[in-house]
Structures are given as C-alpha cells and as structure tokens.
C-alpha cells in the first residue's frame, strides 16, 4: 500500500492492548500495520479507512460503539443494519466496520470471539446488495479495491481516481465516512 500510494509511513504509536481489550479480541496484524503507517483517512478521495484518534469520523472504536448501541437498541426489535449479521459484541460473533466508501459501500471483519485471528472480510455494495465474503487480509482487500479494476463490485481502479491517501480530519462535514 505504501508503494502504491507513494505515502511516507507515519510510524504512529498505538495502545493496541487497550483497543483490543475493549473489543475482547486482537485486531488483524496487517490492519494494525496499515494504521501505524497511514492513520485513518481517505484513499483515492473515495475509500474511508477507519483508525484511531482522528476524531469521531475516522475512529474505529467510536464507529463500532455507535453501531453496537444501535444494534442493541430494542426500538426496532431484532432488525440490524448489518442484516443478516449483527454488530460484533465482546465474546460474540458479528461485524466490525473498518472502511466504507462515499458510495455507501461497507467493509467489515466478521469477528468470532471463539476464533480469534480468523477475520474474513464481508463487504456490501450499495448498488449490488447482499454481503460478499473475502478470505483475504485487510491490506490485500484494500489493495484490490484501489488497484484491480476487475475486482468487482468493489474495485475503483477503472475510474482513474489515482491512488492517493489523505489523513482524516475528524471534521463531521469534510470527509466523514458513511
């Protein structure tokens, strides 16, 4: 990803133990490496990558807490925005979103607390519907989105948007993930 974007790694220091302690599972190692190099922000002016401490708009834990709260709200009974899945709750099985696009595509890990370290990616495109499962790393999935025009329905390379990265600002108007 560094070579693809021409990005100079930031070397961000993160208290992963605290984050993973709240989640109750370790996060994928390649995701942590991506975050330490890039931080949260936007790839190719379109793909939002959640991280930590860039303000609530790009904060993985803040987004997860909001989704979990909405899923656990009994107002809508058993309806989940991640249907047929639910948002991951510590000790359970469900989705944690780590990315999205300006077109409302969603990129999540399917986390099962009983199988730590196994994090298939579930992705949903707003115009195709349904979840697609990918048994690959976060970095490989992100690379395929940005560089592989044949990676459908998620590849954006055919739109010639470039392979850039811009750090997240946390501004709720400018660049907020969906």
Q: pLDDT tens digit string along 103-159?
A: 889 999 999 999 988 999 999 987 777 899 999 999 999 999 999 999 989 999 888
Asked if the peptide bond before residue 117 counts as cis, ω within 30 degrees of 0, the response is: no
Name the pTM for this structure. Answer: 0.86
Q: What CA–CA distances, in Å, run from 124 to 43, 55, 82?
A: 18, 25, 9
User: Phi, psi at residue 118, to the nearest 5°?
Assistant: -105, 105
80: pLDDT confidence band, cut at 50, 70 and 90? low
User: Phi, psi at residue 94, to the nearest 5°?
Assistant: 175, -170
Q: Which two three-digit tokens encode residue 45?
A: 């002016």
Half-sphere exposure of 90 (CA within 13 A, CB side): 10
Those residues with Cβ within 8 angstroms of residue 132's Cβ, 6 or more apart along the chain or in another chain: 122, 123, 124, 125, 153, 154
Residue 178 has pLDDT above 70, yes or no: no
Asked if the peptide bond before residue 148 counts as cis, ω within 30 degrees of 0, the response is: no
Min mean pLDDT across 51-55, 60-64, 156-160 is at 51-55
């Amino acid at each position: 990803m560094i070579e693809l974007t021409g990005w100079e790694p930031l070397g961000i220091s993160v208290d992963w133990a605290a984050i993973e302690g709240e989640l109750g599972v370790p996060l994928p190692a390649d995701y942590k490496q991506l975050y330490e190099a890039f931080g949260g922000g936007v790839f190719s002016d379109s793909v939002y990558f959640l991280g930590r401490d860039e303000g609530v708009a790009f904060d993985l834990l803040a987004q997860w807490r909001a989704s979990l709260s909405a899923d656990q709200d009994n107002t809508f009974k058993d309806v989940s925005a991640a249907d047929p899945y639910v948002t991951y709750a510590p000790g359970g099985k469900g989705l944690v979103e780590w990315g999205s696009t300006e077109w409302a595509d969603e990129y999540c890990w399917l986390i099962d607390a009983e199988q730590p370290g196994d994090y298939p990616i579930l992705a949903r495109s707003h115009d195709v519907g349904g979840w697609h499962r990918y048994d690959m790393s976060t970095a490989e999935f992100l690379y395929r989105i940005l560089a592989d025009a044949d990676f459908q329905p998620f590849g954006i390379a055919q739109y010639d948007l470039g392979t850039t990265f811009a750090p997240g600002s946390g501004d709720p108007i400018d660049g907020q993930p969906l």
